[in-house]
Amino acid sequence: MSNPPVAQAAGGDALPENPARRRVLLSAGLMAAAAALLPWARMAYADAPAQASPADLDAFLGLGERLTGRAHLPPDISARLFAALAQGNRAFGASVTRLVRAMDIAGVDDMRAFKGSAVDRNPELKALAVSIVSGWYLGYTGTPEGLVVKDDTQFITYTGALMFEPTRDVTVIPTYARAGTDHWAVAPASIATD
């Protein structure tokens, strides 16, 4: 019969190795590390955007079309708007569903019927509807603040912002050249065509 392996202590004394003790110490160390990371994991989960299913994104796109009075809005911009508005709000999808149901019950098919409706009188639902419409028209969510490094704005789109749509046929979107980069370097063929 062989003797169990021994380890040498710092002072030269031999200590018997105990595999069960190592497992206990290793388990305790892993549990302490996991406990130290738990608050971080909770914060990361709370700050993570709500995971939207394709059905949620379709419903949100339909809601955006109802609220803006547009027959067809770009699904990719709608998905970005959903993600921005849902930032840090894991109940955002449920809030969207509540707004859609409230609009259905109140018979609100577009914003012309919104004013004075039961949805308009509900501050929470009205604020949600306004934030969605605002995101579509401005191309961002949140409130930009000047002269600060960070605010709560989330960029959604620039050229796709609906605020540019009414004058798109006669004015260019600021900072964007309608005919492409450096189009002004070549003289127009005629005044009638440019």
The confidence score (pLDDT) of residue 22 equals 81
In this predicted model, what pLDDT tens digit does every residue of 128-148 receive, in sequence order?
A: 999 999 999 999 999 988 888
The confidence score (pLDDT) of residue 38 equals 65
Contact in structure between 132 and 86 (CB atoms under 8 Å)? no
Q: Which residue has the higher pLDDT, 146 or 103?
A: 103
- Above 70 in pLDDT, residue 101? yes
In the chain, the percentage of residues whose pLDDT exceeds 70 is 81
In this predicted model, what pLDDT tens digit does every residue of 60-96 receive, in sequence order?
A: 999 999 999 999 999 999 999 999 999 888 889 999 9
Q: How far apart are CA 91 and CA 152, in angstroms?
A: 18
- The partner residues of 7 in beta bridges, in order of sequence, read 15
The one-character DSSP state at 178 is: T
**Residue 8 backbone dihedrals phi, psi, to 5 degrees:** -95, 125
Query: Which of 98, 118, 96, 97 lies closest to 107, judged by CA?
Result: 118
CA distances from 168 to 25, 116, 150, 171 (A): 69, 32, 31, 5
Q: How far apart are CA 147 and CA 88, in angstroms?
A: 24
The confidence score (pLDDT) of residue 40 equals 57
The confidence score (pLDDT) of residue 149 equals 85
**Residue 86 one-letter amino acid:** A
- Above 60 in pLDDT, residue 43? no
The one-character DSSP state at 12 is: S
Contact in structure between 7 and 17 (CB atoms under 8 Å)? yes
- Above 90 in pLDDT, residue 100? yes
- Above 60 in pLDDT, residue 179? yes
| Residue extents of the structural domains in the chain | 54-164
Instruction: State the alpha helices, DSSP H only, in the chain.
Output: 19-47, 54-68, 75-85, 92-106, 118-121, 123-138
The confidence score (pLDDT) of residue 190 equals 77
Residues in the chain: 194
Query: Which of 62, 135, 140 lies closest to 99, judged by CA?
Result: 62
pTM comes to 0.67
**Residue 152 backbone dihedrals phi, psi, to 5 degrees:** -95, 15
Across the chain, what does the average pLDDT equal? 82
- Above 80 in pLDDT, residue 18? no
